[in-house]
Structure 1
């Protein structure tokens, strides 16, 4: 007898039923209660009658069974059930994994969104970094996060005191060593990220000299750390570092998330850098890096508002470079810019030195150097300092800037300084007044010859304002034909009736003040920067006068005219060409013109002076060194400068009674003789002076004894009145 387990036979029946309905369902009790199949009920009845779990095939008369067919069918069904169960389990596992990944992805997106929104809301790098550190630590379960800004060189990560700790007390040793630490490339975790230029993750680090905080990390229970670079373009701008009590996984999703956060932080840093650049450009001089006028005025207004009731503790020093325009004109703006940069550095250094010196004496001051114009610098001084301290500071500035010189094409350039000093007083109602007063004092120092420091006073202010009014009128004088040339004779001291030539001296026919001599307005012109245009007018008018002399006088009566050349003219790049062209345009012989240059002008740039003088002399123009003995009087320079004549300054002639002055005059004559130069003595006013210089060997003289400066018509009358120029002593 073939026996079949009841449960198997039941499954066969149910399978047949399931196929009939084209469905495959679970074998539950609802299906068993279906009365459509009589066999099902019959089997249930037979089951209770059978012993055990087996029944006789004869007992089931209504079910014909093919053993081979149903055995295979049973095996197929069991395999299918097994596969279905496995598939269902795998689907459930995949679904659970997918849900978990979805939840993690949502968390990552939420974290990224929080940091991104925070970064977009704020331009404050510190706030954005703090937010990112706290959110990342909380999300990842990391214990500690710290940010480091990278120096522009890219060689060092510097702690900026931006950090987050989930347990600050427990992590105190690590916090203290990290928040303001400096790490070089390859040093500690941040330095390793800087070196690798990529994320770095280290679990269970061993003692390593490069891991500088290893002991502190172990003391705090930290077993893992990671660091991520923050990029701005191709540059690493910062590094964020994290530490954990547990190992840190190297899942790509985590690394990618932190890098995306780093991208957002990099944009914040880039925005802040751009803002700082714009702010710096707005408040700093782009050439020298010093504060500009805007920042200086703002800081000054703040300092003025913070003054005590006694109105003390604030001063301004104004500094102007003497002769800078001439250097700019001579060598170009590149050389001028180089000089300005060097001057700015010198001012910063001398300010720091003076500040340190005062600190030793117990005086605390704050200094703000600034460049507020082309060659105009200012320094604001906050602190209780007296006039003596300020005078000492001005002396330091003079000394330091005197040695500050630039080089352009191997050309030496020397500079002087005019300094004005103004201290706060009861009459000042705003900072700009204090700045204006310092500027007025500086202007007065420049008008007085430069190279000195002047303190502002009320009277000085009135005088300078008057000078500035005069300057405004002087600028219009050439156009209004108010300038006139006068001519002072230069004679043979052995025979004063012999006129050798004339020196052209400018006068200003002022509509209100009358005829003004050079001393009344030339310093104003020099200080105001218009001496170049005035000098240009004088040169052109003198050459025109020579043309008229040639037209009106016979050749034997035609004199030489000497013209003083200002530094602004002489150092102009095209000066010699202008002189030669003016002579050609007026058909005047070059030898009829002598150009007088002072020592201070000649020695601004000795090499260039030599080139210009040589070219002029080759064209036939004569040259003279004016006021010899009052400037540098350096033989090493003089022997290389091609002059024809030396003019002894009037101060030595006026003091000939002094043994020392006579010795100086003799020395000058010896120098001239050794260099084959002619000599003119200026300022001869008495016959005794004339006789003295004649006996000493002086050939030519000039002064009131021989004639005061006179208009052109009077000079012609003097020449035609029988005074014949001496051809053998022709001036120049």
Structure 2
């Protein structure tokens, strides 16, 4: 029996055992590689799941905010905060397109909201040439697309702001805002980040459009549609607030009633288009008379009647000079279809005096004074006298 075993062992050389060992090692390495790949796939899947969950939660938070507020400012604030918190961004900054161009000189909101963070973010914008002519901001706004970039290395920019991602907010067909986020790690402008940014921008835009519509409704309710001036309701509110705020030591506010002379004849002879043109031009000229006096307000009461609330003046005579300027404002004729339209203004002015602060009485005194100017041939100012 022992001899048989020895013979069996003798049938396998050391090379055979080495080959068997190498086969076993390769098999073990393959199994380890497969296991590592499986673990890596599982880890990537888990990270992707966490990332998608974070993005979903971020989007849900922004949608909830957009559905419960009419303030675009608030939605942008929440977007900056939750994006930094949920996606691990170092900071975010928003630039709004109001009347001027979007520029680094006018950041709207920054998160985290500290002077140091804002200063660093603005420096990163400058270093990366964000707002240079034909730069990244121009590309984002002109082509309305999402971009990512690496900020140029600079001692002035922290490593936490090395990478950036920017996207536009498009409301009513134009770019209304630019949001920029910074990170220490690269953030590529590709799916699903692009989809998320488009979603977020869409919800901000929805609130912006709703906010703008509400502002327009409020404006339309308080302004004359032809001239764009405040209407009767708005003027009465302004006059009441002005009178209530007046203190005796200061120059008393005054109210003017302004009626266009010969308006009916012009309207009858040349038609309503000419009449509308005269009213619009008169509103423009009267407004120019008070443009250097920010406290003064011009309004249209209706028909060819205008009114002015004069306040914040240094001398009583200033109010009288302004009233006279309303008359002179219509001296240059208006051209309409080759004809010169000539008109003038009859003005009545009443001052708010101590013990006489009832706005309806002030308007009545100014109205009687304006009719006195009419009786005197128009193109003149009459100072009203209280009862």
Q: Would you say same fold, with TM above 0.5? A: yes
Cα gap change, 1:347 to 1:178, in 2 (>3 Å): farther
Distance of 1:445 and 1:93 partners within structure 2: 92
2:167 aligns with one of 210, 215, 228: 228
Is the Cα contact below 8 Å between 2:252 and 2:316 reproduced in 1? no
Q: Deviations over 1:235-264 (max 9, x none)?
A: 222111223344333342122212211111
1:451 aligns with one of 363, 379, 387: 379
Q: How far has the Cα of 1:298 moved from its partner? A: 1.3
What secondary structure does 1:231 align onto? strand
Cα gap change, 1:316 to 1:218, in 2 (>3 Å): farther
What secondary structure does 1:296 align onto? helix
What secondary structure does 1:148 align onto? strand
1:273 aligns with one of 199, 203, 212: 212
Q: How far has the Cα of 1:176 moved from its partner? A: 8.4
1:95 aligns with one of 42, 49, 66: 42
Q: How far has the Cα of 1:104 moved from its partner? A: 0.8
1:192 aligns with 2:139: yes
1:442 aligns with 2:366: no
1:378 aligns with 2:307: yes
Largest Rg, 1 or 2: 1
Q: Give the alignment's Cα RMSD to 1 decimal.
A: 3.5
Aligned residue pair count: 368
Counterpart for residue 326 of structure 2? 397
Q: How far has the Cα of 1:191 moved from its partner? A: 3.1
Is the Cα contact below 8 Å between 1:319 and 1:377 reproduced in 2? yes
Is the Cα contact below 8 Å between 1:231 and 1:266 reproduced in 2? yes
Q: Deviations over 1:634-682 (max 9, x none)?
A: xxxxxxxxxxxxxxxxxxxxxxxxxxxxxxxxxxxxxxxxxxxxxxxxx
Q: Deviations over 1:86-141 (max 9, x none)?
A: 76665544333222211110000011111221222221122221111122122333
Is the Cα contact below 8 Å between 2:248 and 2:354 reproduced in 1? no
Is the Cα contact below 8 Å between 2:310 and 2:319 reproduced in 1? no
Q: How far has the Cα of 1:457 moved from its partner? A: 1.0
Cα gap change, 1:176 to 1:395, in 2 (>3 Å): farther
What secondary structure does 1:169 align onto? helix
Counterpart for residue 144 of structure 1? 91
Q: Deviations over 1:594-631 (max 9, x none)?
A: xxxxxxxxxxxxxxxxxxxxxxxxxxxxxxxxxxxxxx
1:325 aligns with one of 252, 264, 286: 264
Q: How far has the Cα of 1:163 moved from its partner? A: 1.6
Distance of 1:224 and 1:81 partners within structure 2: 42
Q: Deviations over 1:522-559 (max 9, x none)?
A: xxxxxxxxxxxxxxxxxxxxxxxxxxxxxxxxxxxxxx
Distance of 1:246 and 1:177 partners within structure 2: 15
When the two structures are superposed, what TM-score results if normalisation uses the length of structure 2?
0.82
Counterpart for residue 350 of structure 1? 289
Distance of 1:83 and 1:122 partners within structure 2: 58
What secondary structure does 1:107 align onto? helix
Cα gap change, 1:219 to 1:311, in 2 (>3 Å): closer
Distance of 1:427 and 1:204 partners within structure 2: 67
What secondary structure does 1:371 align onto? strand
Distance of 2:381 and 2:191 partners within structure 1: 70
When the two structures are superposed, what TM-score results if normalisation uses the length of structure 1?
0.46
Q: How far has the Cα of 1:349 moved from its partner? A: 1.2
Identify which range, 120-129 or 81-90, moves more after superposition.
Answer: 81-90
1:336 aligns with one of 275, 279, 282: 275
Counterpart for residue 578 of structure 1? none
Is the Cα contact below 8 Å between 2:251 and 2:316 reproduced in 1? no
Greater relative contact order (Cα 8 A, min sep 6): structure 1 or 2?
2
Structure 1, unaligned runs of 5 or more: 2-48, 60-76, 207-216, 356-364, 460-732
Distance of 1:199 and 1:414 partners within structure 2: 57
Cα gap change, 1:426 to 1:335, in 2 (>3 Å): same
Distance of 1:250 and 1:140 partners within structure 2: 14
Q: Deviations over 1:449-508 (max 9, x none)?
A: 21110111136xxxxxxxxxxxxxxxxxxxxxxxxxxxxxxxxxxxxxxxxxxxxxxxxx
Distance of 2:278 and 2:155 partners within structure 1: 57
Is the Cα contact below 8 Å between 1:146 and 1:178 reproduced in 2? no
Distance of 1:86 and 1:233 partners within structure 2: 55
Distance of 1:177 and 1:331 partners within structure 2: 62
1:261 aligns with 2:200: yes
Distance of 1:302 and 1:380 partners within structure 2: 11
Q: How far has the Cα of 1:156 moved from its partner? A: 4.5
Q: How far has the Cα of 1:400 moved from its partner? A: 1.9
Q: Superposed, which structure 2 residues align to 1:6-21 within 5 Å?
A: none
Q: Deviations over 1:407-463 (max 9, x none)?
A: 22111100111000000024534323222321221122113321110111136xxxx
Q: How far has the Cα of 1:291 moved from its partner? A: 1.3
Q: Superposed, which structure 2 residues align to 1:547-562 within 5 Å?
A: none
Distance of 1:329 and 1:57 partners within structure 2: 134
Q: How far has the Cα of 1:269 moved from its partner? A: 0.6
Cα gap change, 1:185 to 1:204, in 2 (>3 Å): closer
Cα gap change, 1:320 to 1:187, in 2 (>3 Å): farther
Q: Superposed, which structure 2 residues align to 1:264-663 within 5 Å?
A: 264-309=203-248, 313-353=252-292, 355=293, 366-403=295-332, 405-458=333-386
Q: How far has the Cα of 1:290 moved from its partner? A: 1.4
Is the Cα contact below 8 Å between 1:291 and 1:369 reproduced in 2? yes
Is the Cα contact below 8 Å between 2:370 and 2:382 reproduced in 1? yes
Counterpart for residue 159 of structure 1? 106
What secondary structure does 1:308 align onto? coil
Distance of 1:160 and 1:398 partners within structure 2: 45
What secondary structure does 1:383 align onto? coil
Cα gap change, 1:447 to 1:334, in 2 (>3 Å): same
1:252 aligns with 2:180: no
Is the Cα contact below 8 Å between 1:156 and 1:191 reproduced in 2? no
Counterpart for residue 641 of structure 1? none
Distance of 1:188 and 1:439 partners within structure 2: 59
